[in-house]
Structure formats: C-alpha cells, structure tokens
Amino acid sequence: MKVFAVWIRRSPVVAFYVICYVISWGLWLPLILSRNDLAELIAVIGLFGPALACIIVSRKSSSPAKGSRAIPFWLSFISGWIVSTLAFLIYSGAASTSPVVWVIFAVLALVPAYIIASVVSSLSGFRSKRSQARPNGWWGWYVAAVALPLVLRLVSVWLSRQIGWGFLSDPRPPSSLMDLAGSVLMVFLYTLIYAGGLNEETGWTGLALPRLQAKFSPLVSTIVLWALWMLWHVPMYLSGYFDLSAHVLIGSFFGRFLMTWLFIRSSGGVLTGILLHTSVNVTSQFVPLTNASMLVDAVVALLVIVGGRMWRRLPEENSAVLAEERLAA
C-alpha cells in the first residue's frame, strides 16, 4: 500500500485516470459481453468511477482541512442515501414495483451516498475539497451553469427555423406545465446524482482540471480533459448505451471550454461543472438537437477562449489552480 500511496502523491492526475478507468471499465465489461439486467445494474456503479477515483486520490495526496466544522459523516451518508434511492426509484418508474426492486436500488444508492458524505463530511483526506462542494465566488455563475445549456439550445432551435434546417432529435415533453415541471425536476435530480453531475464532475472538474491547470494553460488542460473524458465513454459506446457521434464529440468539445471558464470565474467551484453537465444532459431530453447547435456552441466556446485568454497559464496562486488545496492549510 505504501508504494500505491507514493505513486498517487507523485502522479495524482495519472493515478486518477488509471483508477477511474479500472473502476469504470471493469464494471462495464459485463455489459459489453452480455446485455442483461445484472450487467446493467453493475454498470450503474461504474458510472461513479470518476468520483470514486477522486476520493481515493484525494485521501492519499491531500491533507484534511483543520479548524472548520463539518456535517457528521453518518448524517450526510443517511441523507444522501435516502435522496439517491428516491431519485433512482422515481426516475426508473419503479416506485410502485416489488420490494425486491426497492432493495436493489437502495443497495446501488449506497455508492452516491458514500460520495456525498465524503464531500460534505469531515472524512479524513477528502475534507479539503469541501470548499469546492460549496458555491465559491459570485452566485450568478451557478445560475449561468444551470441556465446556459437551455438558453443556447433554444437559440439553436430558433436559428435552425430561420435558416430552414431540420431537427436531429424530437423529444416529446409533457404538454401540461405542471407535468413538464415535475418531469424536469425528476430528471434533473436523477442526472445530478447518477448521470453526469456528482458521479463525473467531482473527478473531471474537481480533481483533474485544477491539477492540469497547475501545469498547462486552461486551453491545453481543457483539450486533454475532453480527450480523456471521451475515452472513458468508449466501453459504454461499445455496449450501445452511449452515442459517440460527431455531434456528441464536437458538442462536448466546445461545451468543455464553457465548463472550464465557469470553473475559473467561480474561483474554482466544482459545483459549476456539476450543474452545467447536469443541465446539458437534462436539456437534451426536453429540447430538440439541431444542426445549428454546433454552430452556437462553437461561437460560445470561441468567446470564452478569447475573452478568458485561455492560452495563458493561470498564476500559481489562482483559486482555480489551488482549489483542491486551499482548505488544507
């Protein structure tokens, strides 16, 4: 174990990605070999590879914060477990099924519950990241993280209609305003925990990005992060559960720059990444995708790259570089 710990401390980014891939790809392998109910349930745990790898690397490479109060681990764990279980049950439509299904989902919910508790409690070695779990900087950046994906998608829909381009997807949201609001809230909560928010960005934005920016410019860091992020999805693509089309690859490439920009502007708040990723995935389920989407995303990416001068290295004391360690002292 000493060798393992030394390796993590010397190469935390490499260790993070290796551990993340081992966890996720190992749990996704059964799904590639045979698409059955058991393999699908195991694959759900694999979605938390980035967050679990983040916890492992953080424990070994970061010092816990001192002198600040934190929520007890057991309280945050139980609260997170209840919310995660309900989100899984309601989203999957299993709330009225047999008790056996409830038990299975309750067991699966232990994983996000542990991650939530690790982030907000006083768990040794991970508490130094609590500052990232809380909003940093101006609150407007967090509102922007939620609202921008919807605004940009609606702009692309309008632009497509003006140009005469067709839609690439045709989601059918509920017509009733109350039903639509309920559906959006349900999907948002599930996605926030299981499908792109907490499970992924805790690692991608919370651990990998600030460490990459300590060595490279935000521009280079974002490109590296995007490439390894897409590579992580390959087993899910091979099993037929993820689309790696040109629109996904290019759209995610442009979107990653917006995520980096918000992370920097919010003084290293990982919550911006969690919210933005969640909002992007939720928006895609309710608003059509168009050929103009990539054009709009490209313009926004260019604006934040130029406006944020992302080709320039951030100062060592910048909070988006020191986000992981600033409570460790």
pLDDT on residue 100: 73
Range of the domain at 200: 127-322
Residues in contact with 187: Cβ distance below 8 Å, sequence separation at least 6, in sequence order: 91, 282, 285, 286
Tell me: pLDDT of 129 over 70: no
Q: Which of the listed residues 121, 149, 183 is the one where a domain comes to its end?
A: 121
Give me the number of domains the chain comprises.
Answer: 2
Mean of the per-residue pLDDT values for the chain? 84
**Tokens 């109350």 sit at which residue?**
178
- Closest alpha carbon to 69 in 27, 130, 6: 130
Q: Do residue 134 and residue 238 come from a single domain?
A: yes
Q: Do residue 161 and residue 216 come from a single domain?
A: yes
Tell me: pLDDT of 324 over 90: no
Name the phi and psi angles at 290, rounded to 5. -130, 170
Tell me: pLDDT of 328 over 50: no
Tell me: pLDDT of 183 over 80: yes
- Give the integer Cα–Cα distance in Å for 71 and 271: 18
pTM, two decimal places: 0.89
Q: Do residue 115 and residue 245 come from a single domain?
A: no
Q: Do residue 249 and residue 280 come from a single domain?
A: yes
Q: Do residue 96 and residue 143 come from a single domain?
A: no
Residue 278 lies in a domain: yes
Q: Do residue 206 and residue 112 come from a single domain?
A: no
Tell me: pLDDT of 225 over 60: yes
Mean pLDDT confidence for 26-54 = 89
Determine which of 123-132, 197-206, 292-301, 310-319 has the lowest per-residue pLDDT on average: 123-132
Tell me: pLDDT of 143 over 80: yes
Q: Do residue 161 and residue 254 come from a single domain?
A: yes
Q: Do residue 165 and residue 302 come from a single domain?
A: yes
Q: Do residue 93 and residue 179 come from a single domain?
A: no
Q: Which of the listed residues 121, 150, 181 is the one where a domain comes to its end?
A: 121
Greater pLDDT, 286 or 245:
286
Q: Do residue 232 and residue 312 come from a single domain?
A: yes
pLDDT on residue 151: 95
Residue 111 lies in a domain: yes
Residue 105 lies in a domain: yes
Residue 144 lies in a domain: yes
Mean pLDDT confidence for 286-303 = 92
pLDDT on residue 73: 80
